[in-house]
Amino acid sequence: MFHRDHSPCLFLLLLLLSTLCISSISHSQQSTWASKKMRMREKVRTMFYHAYDNYMTYAFPHDELKPLSKTYTDSLSELGNLKLEHLPQDYNGSALTLIESLSSLVIMGNNTEFEKAVLWLSENLKFDVDARINLFECNIRVLGGLVSAHLLASDSSKKLFQGTYNNQLLFLAEDLGKRFLPAFDTPTGLPYAWINLKYGVMENETTETSTSGCGSLILEMGALSKVTGDPRYESAALRALRKLWSMQSSLRLFGTTLDVETGEWIEFSSGIGAGVDSFYEYLLKAHILFGKEDFWRMFHSAYVAVQKYFRHGPWYHEADMRTGKATYWQLTSLQAFWPGLQVLIGDITAANSSHREFFHVWKRFGVLPERYLLDHRMIHPTEKYYPLRPELAESTFYLYQATKDPWYIEVGETIVNSLNLYTKIEGGFASVKDVTTMQLEDHQHSFFLAETCKYLYLLFDDSFVHETNYVFTTEGHPLPVLSAWHEKLPETYIPTNWTFMKRQPEASRISSMSLQVCPAITLKSGQHIESACHIPDARSDYRCLTDEDCGVDSTTCARRSCSMAGYCGLWIF
C-alpha cells in the first residue's frame, strides 16, 4: 500500500508512463502508416507496369490497347485522338499511350525507359499526316505530354538522360503547335473543335465546340510559347479564352456548347462536369503557372457563381446559364475533379464534403458510374460505364496533401483494390461497360497511365513534388511553376500588394494566392482576409423571401437558407 504522502510522486510517475505510452503508440502508428504507404506504392507501380507492358507488347506504336483481344486501336475520333482517314504506308503510329506515360515513368523513377521512349519518339513520330483530330484532346494529351516531358528532360537536376538531350520533344511539340494555329482563324477567335493535321480546317467542318474545347488550351499552348519564345500559341489560346469570358451571362455563368463562327451559345445548360470542367480548372491553374491576376479575377468570379447556382449541399447540379434555375440533378464522374480544385484555393471543408459523397457512390457500386441521377437515386440507364477515370484519385491526392488525414490513404487503398479486383485482366486493365454487372469493355484508355496510376502513386509517395512546385494539367502532365514565367510587377505595385506575416527568424512574404482562402480568416495583425467562397446575402439586412436571396457563409463555406421568419442564416445542417 502506498503512503498518502507519495501520491504526487505516483501521479507524476503515471503521467510519465502514459506520456511514454502515447508517444510509443504515436510512433507505432506513424510506422504502420509509412509501411502501408510503401506497400500501396509498390502495388500501384505493379498496376502501372502491367498496363504499360501490355500496351508495349500488343498495341505500340498505335494509340491505345484493347486488353481483352490483346490488340490495338487507332480510330478513336470519339475521344479526339488521331483518326487516320488515309493511312500512309510508312505510318508508324502516334504512340499516344507512350506519350501519355512519359511523366509517369519519371515519377516512378524509370529513367532508362523514359530515355528510350524519348529517342523513339524523336526518330519516328510524325505529325504531317492526313488525320482529323480533336483540338482539345490532342492539346491536353499529345501537346501537353510532349511539353511536360521536355521540361522534365531539360531539368539537369533530375539526370534523366545517360546521353545528351537535344530538345527533341520540343521540336515535336512546336511542329504540332503550328498545326493547331489554323483552327483559331475564325471571326471570333474561338477555335474549331476539329482540324486536319496536314490540311488544316476542312471544308464544311462543324462550327460547334464546347466551353472546355475553346477555354482549356492556355496551359499547354502558353507553356509552349514560354519554352520556344514564340508568342503565337499563347496569344491564340488567350484570345479564345477572353472571347469566351465575354460570352458569360448576367449571372456569370456559361453554357456547354457554342458556335465558333457566330459566337452564339447552342446549349445553355451547364455544370462543373463534361464540356465545362477544365475551363474552370485552367482559369485557376493558369494564374498559378503564369502569375497573371486576370486569371485569378476570372476564376474567383466564376467560382462564386458556381457555388451560388450549382451547389446543393455537397452535390453540384446543372443549371441554365440565363436564369440560374436547376436543369439536371445528376452526378457525373468527371465532376469528381472539383474537390481537388477546391483544395488549391483552400476551400477544404467544401472539398471534403463533396469528395466523401463521390467516394460513397464508389463504394456502393465498386467503381464510379459515368452518370448518377441524384433526384432518382439511380444510375443513368444508358451511362453505366466506368472507363478507368482518374478524377476521384486526383482529388484524394490533393486532399491528403492538404490535410495529411490518413483516411485518404484508406480511400486510395479502396480505389486500388477495386481496380485490381474488377478491371485487371491478363492483357492489361479494361474499362467497365456496366457497373451493375461489372461487364468489361475492350479498351484501356491512355489516361489510365497518364493520370489514374500517377495520382494513386503520388498519394502514397509524393517525393516527386518535394523539390519543385508543379501544376498538373487536366491530363495529369506536370508543368513546373517557374518564376521566369510570371509577369514582373511594376516597382510601384510591389510594396502595396504584399502582406508580411512574422515568422522566425525573419518575415516571409505571403502572396495573393495564399491569402485568397476559405474560410475567412483574421490575421494576428487584425487584417481580415476575405473568403474565396463567400457570397453575400442579397440584402444587407439579411431579410429574404426564398433561399435564392441567401448567399454562402464566409466562415463555414456552407449555403445559407431562408428561415420561416424571413431571415438568411445557417438554418439547415
CA dist 390 to 67, 317, 334, Å?
A: 19, 21, 9
The alpha-helical segments, DSSP class H, found in 247-319 are 277-290, 293-309
CA 35 to CA 24: how far, in whole Å?
Answer: 16
For residue 478, list its beta bridge partners. 472
> How many CA atoms lie within 13 Å of 246's alpha carbon, on the beta-carbon side?
11
Residue 107's φ and ψ, nearest 5 degrees, are -60, -35
CA distance 64 to 99: 11
Helix axes 218-228, 168-180, angle to 10 degrees: 120
Angle subtended at Cα 541 by Cα 536 and Cα 547, rounded to the nearest 5 degrees? 55
Output the 3-class SS for 357-389: HHHHHHHHHCCCCCEEECCCCEECCCCCCECCC
Residue 293: CB atoms within 10 A of its CB come to: 12
Catalytic residue among 137, 347, 441, 442: 137
CA–CA gap between residue 221 and residue 218 (Å, rounded): 5
Name the catalytic one among 64, 113, 277, 553. Answer: 277
Q: Is 137 a catalytic residue?
A: yes
> Active site includes 85?
no
Q: Catalytic one among 370, 413, 537, 553?
A: 370
Helix, strand, or coil here: 402? helix
| Residue whose C-alpha cell is 502508416 | 33
Q: Which of 391, 413, 451, 475 is labelled catalytic? A: 391
Task: Give the cell for residue 198.
Answer: 496536314
Q: Label residue 95 left, alpha or beta by phi (over 0 means left) and psi (-120 to 50 means alpha).
A: left
Respond yes or no: is residue 391 known to be catalytic.
Answer: yes
Q: What b/e sequence results for 297-323 when a residue is b if at least 16 CB atoms lie within 10 Å of its CB, and e otherwise?
A: ebbbebbbbbbbbbbeebbbbbbbbee
Separation CA 275–CA 214 (nearest Å): 10
Does 277 qualify as catalytic in the annotation? yes
State the catalytic residues: 137, 277, 370, 391
